[in-house]
Chain A
């Protein structure tokens, strides 16, 4: 679990055949498979957008997702609420819990977008 939102420059990754050593010399590395980090970096961990069927059912969010520790609920308008959780069960679990709930229309990750132009990508 990461704290906050790390601003990873998604896929602006320097693929390194990393070999390293101390100032006294360097030792060949033993490269391993790269982690699939992109999926993590394109959403804010612990944050979800929940769309309610009606505004008066905010309690449904607490009832359904309270088990993960609710740090905050922010009204974004249009019946959409930004829900911040202490623990992140992942989008699949969030959707699974939503299934069949009469008060919650949709749940999705809080995705991350960028403005970055090519000049700054390194």
Chain B
């Protein structure tokens, strides 16, 4: 396959001569000529343009050789050489002939590299055959998958298989996954984790817990890591953009998938100072311009680090004032922001876009990759099994709430919610125990509407010992002076400390003696209650969607480009990805490039070097 590269080198060299005359030089990024298999007794010869086909045939015949074919490239002929001459002798003879520009062996090519990983057929992003992506490995088991354009249109993929003939090993470049952590002992990741030495034996750092064990209790970061660098061709599960990699796990997002500026800034600076040259950040938010975050990205730029980020999953235009989504909307030149495409290369219905803020698109629906374990959902229908207590009367009760036209079973305080008022000087409690034995992570999800006056309190609390969590137990949240009606908000809490056979979860509404207005003391409605659990496993996979999944496709490409071209700067990498992409109709006017990433095109993209001058003599 390297013969192709040699041909490209030869052609590019000629192009380079021409460009030199125009005071420009084209730098060829492919590796130098090495040894390779070729057809014995054949060479390819390129004659100078002034020589006709008749001249070429005569020249070849004069050497006792024969023209097998005139190739459909100007001047090139396929020559059958005589016996008794070595390839070196034949090539030397032609290269010394003043009528010849170039001569080379007729190299033998291999079929395109295809890995033997068991789920490779599901990876439409790498090879879109029009396959239907199924939910056989989704978490929780058999959960629905993205149905639009599944199957999609064959050929809409990253064009990666050809590139694997040139490079599959990106381990010379450290790529940091700044996320929820990484399940670094997952079967398809363990061999491809960063070697952090004795200081970082678990391949990174955890800025949520401030320790050196960035194991992933969420799954998101593990999925991202697998897209970049799940071990390829190891007969297991998934395949990464890079078959071999050096993945640094940097945990900045907690079990629920949330993180703060403080953690993210530390995570970026850690990755930069410990040698990462590519950082993947499948995260974002819209709180406003974040100077500290921006400065960390600038610090990465100063240290020649490429940062690849997600466009966001709100289905909006990031360019519109008020929709700003950071870090995507930062403007540093080392930043690439990625939108998500479906299996027909339509913009995914959830993907954000932006003609000035989002750079490229990449596959982001039904993406199969590594996962941290097995998920399960414990749902409660809020109709039975709860213990209610009050110091006055009424208090919590089962009821219904009209949520979007559907009467939904709910816990209500007061029972006459939302027309009534809760009592003064009351302490109302509702709690129930759940069995969480054996799980490794748990997230408590609640949908709630709260109208509680200033000085009165709505609290959530848990106890791993069961019973009333408001007698002992751990405070999870406390609200006062909140009025959300008629909106219901989904909230979630990490309840790692409650993992036990009898985890009691509860709600409390506590008021003082002050009489409040009806609006302020409308009370609380709990309309949904779920516990999502994760039990660690080293053999789990998951198929999910998001710009979070499109981002590591591009980060993997950035890593591959840097591994293949060690001299590349961040600017060269960004240039190769954005200029080398594939024009895609759905991205026209919605991204800065109108392109989807294309691995082989980016690998073959010839970056014009900067700062060079030449003089025409």
Contact = CB atoms under 8 A, between A and B. Distances in A.
Nearest to B292: A49
Main secondary structure of the interface of B (DSSP, over half): mixed
Contacts of B151: none
Contact of B269 (A21, A31, A78, A112): A78
Interface residues of B, number: 86
B486 A112 contact: no
Contact of A42 (B282, B288, B401): B288
Nearest to A33: B486
A66 B273 CA distance: 33
Given A42-B285, A76-B265, A11 B401 contact: no
B402 A29 contact: yes
A14 B525 contact: no
Contacts, number: 243
Interface in B481-495: 481-494
Nearest to B542: A119
Nearest to B293: A111
A4 interface: yes
A121 B480 CA distance: 26
A78 B272 CA distance: 13
Among A18, A108, A120, chain B packs the most CB atoms within 10 A around the CB of A18
A100 interface: no
A78 B187 CA distance: 37
Contact of B220 (A38, A112, A117): A117
B404 A17 contact: yes
A112 B260 contact: yes
Given A17-B405, A112-B258, A7 B493 contact: yes
B549 A20 contact: no
A108 B291 contact: yes
A93 interface: no
B419 to A, nearest CB: 5
Contacts of B404: 14-17
Nearest to A19: B402
Given A7-B258, A43-B287, A18 B403 contact: yes
Given A8-B490, A9-B492, A17-B405, A77 B266 contact: yes
B412 interface: yes
B267 to A, nearest CB: 10
A97 B608 CA distance: 50
A19 B410 CA distance: 12
Contact of B264 (A3, A13, A23, A113): A113
Interface stretch (B80-88, B471-479, B556-564, B584-592): B471-479
B350 interface: yes
Among A19, A115, A118, chain B packs the most CB atoms within 10 A around the CB of A115
A7 B492 contact: yes
B256 interface: yes
A51 B299 CA distance: 15
A29 B477 contact: no
Contact of B487 (A35, A44, A51, A120): A35
A59 interface: no
B213 interface: no
A18 B402 contact: yes
A4 B266 contact: no
A75 B259 CA distance: 17
B403 A109 contact: no
Contact of A74 (B258, B262, B299): B262
A20 B257 contact: no
A72 B606 CA distance: 52
B293 A14 contact: no
Contacts of A27: 416, 418-419
A37 B483 CA distance: 10
A20 B143 CA distance: 31
B180 interface: yes
Given A7-B491, A19-B418, A110 B266 contact: no
Contacts of B519: 32
A52 B142 CA distance: 52
B361 interface: no
B313 A117 contact: yes
A23 B400 contact: yes
B222 to A, nearest CB: 12
A122 B407 contact: no
9 nearest A-B pairs in the assembled complex, by CB-CB distance: A117-B546, A42-B287, A3-B478, A118-B350, A31-B486, A113-B285, A19-B402, A111-B287, A115-B257
Given A20-B399, A35-B487, A80-B292, 8 more contacts: A14-B490, A18-B488, A21-B417, A42-B286, A42-B288, A51-B292, A76-B262, A77-B265
12 contacts: A18-B403, A19-B401, A27-B416, A29-B419, A30-B418, A32-B519, A37-B489, A49-B261, A77-B266, A108-B292, A113-B261, A118-B313
